[in-house]
Structure 1
């Protein structure tokens, strides 16, 4: 008890300075120690250290206004870490990693380069009701699959390891997304990485989601839409990354990771490509590419 009393006598500025060297989680825990600690742990001096140096890119009008503008640095941090806020062009969203304060982004489908993306025969644009973005890209029919995105390194947090994810859904009659597997690449500074990935997993035990036997090669464009029937499950080779279900109802596929080192002033380029197999593909709905801090373990 005496030790607790002694701690309570420490100047608030000293406690704040110590907590500012910890983490957002530690500061929240410290707020439960005593009223004196709560005042220090909730102070702007602490939470200003957890917000990104230099601030964020300009946000779209009204993104942090409801129900009222943040009244403190802590409230600002909690809002930015609770979910994505749209940037001014409404084609990119940003939020903060709750554990570290690292800046995270999602590049919307409209912000990406999609080969044949503006040709309705191959891709079409549909409204999204479960996304911060107003629309997504739906794959109709392609045999040349290529999606690319990029972000400036200085928009990201320094000395932070990031991972990039394709965020997507599939329609009821999708096909061609599992074979051949796709190639994901990330280029950041002088580092380039490539891995094999697959937009469709191996969990279709009921016969749904495999390769249809009426697959067509890259010969004249099929006039009739291929039906999702007579599917056979395809087993993927080892070291092929498969998608995971997200809490928001979408799927995500990790495309790779990279270290954004301090002082980098270039671009991070991300791609997902399959152009060699010649098989037709359909039924993919792309929300965007998410770039967030890679959690250890």
Structure 2
């Protein structure tokens, strides 16, 4: 079974003249990748050259980025992200990006591509926040923002 599977992933046609996965046009692979999750795309990119090329396509990663991802980039200096491919922008935004003096973080979920945000308690405006009868703030080692 392993020999037949490995022959499917070769770029050349197999010895018996039948086409393999490497013979599928890259743009067709890219169309299929638009329906997959980013981790699935990255795993399939390891199969062969055509899959790797399709996995680097801006059209594939543009479909994974939220429509308002430009607003996430607006909180950063342009020099950080200029010249990056859509795949690199997705990878960059998949890690927490601090802003507002480090009191807030924003990132993309690696599976769904949805925007996630973490807000420090110091960044919140709480009604009667200075009145100790209503609440107290306790610093903790477990928080990465406070």
For residues 115-166 of structure 1, what are the alpha-carbon distances to aligned partners after superposition, in whole Å with 9 as ceiling and x for unaligned?
Answer: 443x4xx5xxxxxxxxxxxxxxxxxxx231289xxxxxxxxxxxxxxxxxxx
Residue 133 of structure 2 is aligned to residue 143 of structure 1: yes
Q: Where does residue 92 of structure 2 map in the other structure? A: 79
Matched residue SS, 1:49 = helix
User: Structure 1: where are the runs of 5+ without partners?
Assistant: 123-141, 148-167, 171-248, 253-285, 288-297
CA–CA distance in structure 2, aligned partners of residues 251 and 97 of structure 1: 20
Residue 50 (structure 1) aligned to one of 45, 64, 67 = 64
**Structure 2 counterparts to residues 43-192 of structure 1, below 5 A:** 43-57=57-71, 59-62=74-77, 65-66=79-80, 69-86=82-99, 92-117=104-129, 119=130, 142-145=132-135, 169-170=139-140
Relative to the length of structure 1, the TM-score reads: 0.38
- Checking the alignment, whether the CA contact within 8 Å between 1:50 and 1:101 is kept in structure 2 is yes
Using a 3 Å threshold, how does the CA distance of structure 1 residues 146 and 52 change in structure 2: closer, same or farther?
Answer: farther
Pairwise CA distance, 1:110: 4.8
Give ranges in structure 2 of 5+ residues lacking alignment: 1-5, 14-19
Tell me the number of residue pairs that the alignment of Structure 1 and Structure 2 aligns. Answer: 131
TM-score (norm 2): 0.71
1:18 aligns with one of 32, 47, 50: 32
Q: Deviations over 1:234-280 (max 9, x none)?
A: xxxxxxxxxxxxxxx5349xxxxxxxxxxxxxxxxxxxxxxxxxxxx
CA RMSD, 1 decimal: 3.0
Query: Could you tell me how far 1:111 is from its partner in structure 2?
Result: 4.0
> Which protein is richer in helix relative to its size?
2
The structural deviation recorded for 1:36 is 1.6
The match for 2:48 is 34
**CA distance 1:76–1:85, change in 2 (3 Å):** farther
CA distance in 1 between partners of 2:56 and 2:113 (Å): 16
Contact 1:84 1:93 in 2 (8 A): yes
Query: Alpha-carbon deviation of 1:54?
Result: 3.4
Distance 1:73 1:33 in 2: 21
- Aligned counterpart for 1:9 among listed residues 20, 23, 33: 23
Compare the two structures and name the one with the higher strand fraction. Answer: 1
- Bigger RCO (CA 8 Å, 6+ sep): 1
Give 3-state SS (helix, strand or coil) of 2:111's partner.
coil
- Deviation of 1:74 after TM superposition, in Å, equals 0.5
